[in-house]
């Protein structure tokens, strides 16, 4: 069985991009799987390890971390745009350029950097646990963070560029905004007045996934020299995350607003009253 699996894997690797074969973490997906497995273990054990401890004071660490993530997100956004989406990429069919031209290599390199950032983002969860913000470590949060490193290994290994980088370009912008928000929040309560746009972050994420679903769906109806397997993977991820983020938004903002309004009516003695003509 193992011999058969290895033979199948060797056949799959024949379609891999030879340019990235020797890049860091790209020879095998095993390190990515191991790191993601350890991430899940930390998520499971973290609250138990922290149950009798005080939350860690991490203001300076969070400020430094969020600043680094803002810079990296801005850089990947700029590179995705200038290596492709502002340099002739089509919003319809855009095959991967596997050549060694400067532009093609630039795109492949930023895809690899984006993949590496998926590991850095795992610290979001670790910091939540260390600060005992367990309510932030939701299934949506863990699923979103835990699945990306492995899926992006395959993206960089086989399709580092072209059509599929539309969603990573959108995601780089979202993360630039998100880590800017986190950085301001880490400055302290006196900066809360600048964080009025928190709920719009979730709206931007939802819009992002809607755009990716629409952008990906078109390849189901037109001919394009881009692997259909990755079309299905990108589209499925985007649709699942769209549903999950929309559900989160409704439960966090819409449902709570309805509860607040209901409580206000009861408090004011207006609940259940009928209008008398």
pLDDT by residue (tens digit) across 156-205? 999 999 999 999 999 999 999 999 999 988 888 888 777 887 778 889 99
Residue 5 resides in a domain: no
**Confidence (pTM):** 0.88
Nearest-angstrom CA–CA distance, 94 and 166? 10
Q: What's the pLDDT at 230?
A: 94
For residue 11, being part of any structural domain is answered with no
Instruction: Copy the structure tokens of residue 266.
Output: 């009861």
Active site residue 144: yes
CA of 159: how far to CAs of 15, 25, 101, 120, in Å? 10, 16, 16, 22
Q: Considering the domain boundaries, does residue 274 fall inside one?
A: no
Q: Among 141, 144, 175, 265, which one carries the catalytic annotation? A: 144
What's the CA gap between 227 and 205, in Å, rounded? 26
User: Is 57 part of any domain?
Assistant: yes
The number of residues making up the chain comes to 277
Q: How many domains is the chain built from?
A: 1
Q: What is the pLDDT of residue 198?
A: 78
The reported pLDDT for the residue numbered 187 is: 86
Check residue 3 and give its pLDDT: 78
**Who's near 13: CB < 8 A, 6+ residues apart?**
none
**Predicted pLDDT at 256:** 60
What's the pLDDT score for residue 275?
42
Listed as ranges, residues in the chain with pLDDT below 50 are 265, 271-277
Quick check: is 275 in a domain? Answer: no
Using a CB cutoff of 8 Å and minimum separation of 24, what contacts does 25-34 make? 25/115, 25/116, 25/153, 26/112, 26/153, 26/156, 26/157, 29/150, 29/153, 29/154, 29/157, 32/149, 32/150, 32/153, 33/150
What is the predicted pLDDT for the residue at 251? 85
Cβ contact 202:249 at 8 Å: yes
The pLDDT of residue 269 is 56
Is 33 inside any structural domain? yes
User: Is 272 inside a domain boundary?
Assistant: no
Over residues 208-236, the pLDDT tens digits come to 999 999 999 999 899 999 999 999 999 99
Domain of residue 144 covers 20-262
């Amino acid at each position: 069985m193992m011999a058969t699996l290895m033979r199948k894997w060797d056949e799959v690797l024949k379609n891999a991009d030879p340019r990235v074969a020797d890049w860091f973490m790209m020879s095998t997906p095993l390190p990515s799987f191991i790191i993601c497995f350890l991430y899940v273990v930390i998520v499971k054990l973290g609250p138990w390890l922290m149950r009798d401890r005080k939350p860690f004071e991490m203001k300076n660490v969070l400020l430094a971390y969020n600043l680094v993530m803002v810079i990296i997100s801005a850089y990947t956004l700029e590179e995705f745009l200038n290596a492709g989406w502002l340099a002739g990429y089509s919003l319809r069919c855009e095959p991967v350029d596997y050549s060694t031209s400067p532009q093609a290599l630039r795109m492949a390199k930023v895809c690899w950097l984006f993949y590496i950032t998926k590991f850095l983002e795992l610290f979001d969860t670790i910091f939540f646990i260390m600060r005992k913000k367990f309510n932030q470590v939701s299934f949506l949060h863990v699923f979103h963070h835990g699945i990306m490193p492995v899926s992006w290994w395959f993206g960089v290994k086989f399709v580092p560029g072209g059509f599929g980088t539309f969603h990573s370009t959108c995601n780089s912008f979202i993360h630039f905004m998100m880590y800017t928000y986190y950085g301001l929040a880490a400055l302290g309560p006196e900066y809360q007045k600048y964080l009025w746009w928190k709920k719009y972050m979730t709206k931007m994420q939802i819009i992002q996934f809607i755009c990716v679903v629409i952008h990906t769906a078109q390849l189901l109806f037109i001919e394009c020299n881009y692997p259909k397997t990755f079309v299905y993977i990108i589209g499925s991820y985007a649709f699942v995350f769209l549903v999950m983020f929309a559900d989160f938004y409704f439960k966090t903002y819409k449902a709570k607003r309805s509860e607040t309004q209901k409580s206000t009516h009861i408090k004011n003695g207006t609940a259940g009253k009928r209008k008398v003509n």
